[in-house]
Amino acid sequence: MLFQRRTPPSRYEKLRVAVWPRASWMRSFRYYGKRVLRLTASPHAVALGFSCGAFASFTPFMGFHFLLAAAVAMIVRGNMLASALGTVVGNPLTFPFIWAITYKLGHVILGTGTLDTSADATHGLMHADLLTHSLDALWPLLKPMIIGGLPLGLTCGLLCYFPVYFSVKAYQERKQRRIAARQMAEVARSAQSRPAE
């Protein structure tokens, strides 16, 4: 394969690059931005797919964001690849803030107090049998995060839709103008090179 590394990266190096990119976060975001712009679909489908990915990033289901984004994109007829790229909204830099705000908003919506942090409750959470009691132990955390994540995810998806839509539309129009100009130049060149009768 062209441009393949001579020595493949180890699992530790792959994990480190996923958490902290080699060059910088800004370069990674620019790369993802260009990937979104170059998708071959209508601007509406790309923006809708990206919004689905942003929405999925606000759910507490780590490891399932791609699948959730793809499922929502399929329902609303958004672009599947754009939905995968949209999950970049949730990354190691933003997840702590997303989790904290969804948890707090969930408790506000539910009208409940904060999580019981007494020694007995913490001990129960820490030593719960993962096979039998994991859902019961995690539900007090997951329920407010799910409830709080729904309105925040919808808001973030809506805020992502318009910039992505107009950016993709402008990029595709520029590309069509370049192609049209190139075709006109080729026609003019072929007309000049044609021998006069």
- Map out the domains of the chain as residue ranges: 11-164
Helices 134-193 and 95-110 pack at an angle, to 10 degrees, of: 120
Rounded to whole angstroms, how far apart are CA atoms 11 and 5? 14
Indicate the pTM of the whole model. 0.70
By C-alpha distance, which of 73, 81, 145 is closest to 107?
145
Identify the pLDDT of residue 3: 58
Identify the pLDDT of residue 21: 63
Instruction: Give me the average pLDDT of each 10-residue run along the chain (197 residues).
Output: 67 68 67 75 90 92 89 91 88 87 90 55 45 64 88 93 91 88 84 66
Identify the pLDDT of residue 76: 92
Contact 184, 138 (CB under 8 A): no
Identify the pLDDT of residue 26: 67
Identify the pLDDT of residue 163: 92
